[in-house]
Amino acid sequence: MGGRDPHAYGWPIPITGIRPELPDGHLPDLPTADEALRVGVIDTGIAVNSQGEVHPWLRGHVQYMPDEVEHRNDSDPDVGHGSFVAGVVLQQAPTATVLMHRAVVGAENEDEEGQVATAIRELGQAGVTLINLSFGGSLFEHSTPTVISEALSELGPEVVVVAAVANNALPLRTYPAADKRVISVGAATSSGAIAEFSANGDWIDIYAVGEGVVGPYQDGYAEWSGTSFAAATMTGRIARRMAAGMSAEQGAALLLSRSGVAHVWGVNGKRDVRFLEPLA
């Protein structure tokens, strides 16, 4: 197994100065977290600084175990991926509580697939009904790895799983996004154009903004692109519906049925696809 790949595209670009998303130099303060509104995120873990502290914007909104922490490493762009994903979810659903499970930790981990499967089972057994998977495998996989597929199949029908497609600009299926048990999410620009790096096959359920996304990174904020963050946007929007009283199933079905439209151009002409329009 080659390891699960966090689906970020390029390096995060640190933000300096004031931007519309950061009117006071930071994202708007979050309200108190609702511990009953739980979103499971299986990713690279939560990044901490040299003092062992998480990003201040995430405090009180993420729960994790001591072994689910990554220490800052400026030479590895994937360090901080999980924190960024959590931040994207929370921008869409500010009252959510993110339950982080670190299971995507690089090719040196020989049992990464087993750890992903264990994390899926633990979240399901804990009653979590919304799970985000912002990673995938190689193009040489033709199905979801068996151990992960079995864990997904054990989840109850009330559990919604959202997964990022690849950043390969190809129509080829990648897993677990193409698994029939999950909602697959590709990346688009804020105007609804399909991002040039996003996978774009007719197997993809919906596209969401995944280009130039702003989120917490290291001690500040960064702009990052990738289908990872498109998936996290979809997950956060489902959680937002859950905060309004819907189940995860109901929220996902509503977003899929009432999505906007984006266009994909290929050798067979134009094809309409679902597009999750940004919040006003």
Domain annotation for the chain: domains and CATH numbers: 31-276 (3.40.50.200)
Q: Are 79 and 72 in contact (CB under 8 A)?
A: yes
pLDDT reported for residue 150: 97
pLDDT at 4 over 80: no
**pLDDT tens string 120-149:** 999 999 999 999 999 987 656 788 999 999
Assigned token pair, 237: 């929007």
pLDDT of residue 139: 59
Confidence (pLDDT) at 238: 98
Mean pLDDT, residues 252-280 taken together: 87
Q: What is the pLDDT of residue 47?
A: 93
Beta strands in 92-246 (DSSP E): 97-102, 130-133, 135-136, 160-164, 183-188, 206-209, 213-217, 220-225
What band does 2 get if pLDDT is binned at 50, 70 and 90?
very low
What's the mean pLDDT in 235-245?
Answer: 98
Is the Cα torsion angle 41, 45, 46, 52 positive or negative in sign?
positive
* Per-residue pLDDT at 157: 96
Residue 140's pLDDT is: 62
* 235: its two tokens: 């997950």
Alpha carbons 209 and 133: distance in angstroms, whole number: 16
Q: What confidence score (pLDDT) does residue 1 get?
A: 36
Answer with the residue of higher pLDDT: 104 or 34.
34
Tell me the mean pLDDT in the region 97-116: 83
Mean pLDDT (the chain) is 91
Confidence tier at 264 by pLDDT (50, 70, 90) = confident
Q: Which of 103-112, 165-174, 233-242 has the weakest average pLDDT?
A: 103-112
pTM: predicted TM-score of the whole model, two decimal places:
0.94
Does residue 15 surpass a pLDDT of 90? yes
Positions marked active-site: 43, 81, 228
**DSSP character for 193?**
P
Is 240 within 8 Å of 257 (Cβ atoms)? no
Q: Could you read off the pLDDT of 90-106 as tens digits, one per residue?
A: 999 999 999 999 998 76
Identify the pLDDT of residue 270. 76
Structure token pair of residue 39: 């979103």
The CA distance from 48 to 29, in Å, is 19
pLDDT digits (tens, 9 = 90+) for 58-93: 999 999 988 888 877 777 777 899 999 999 999 999
The confidence score (pLDDT) of residue 254 equals 98
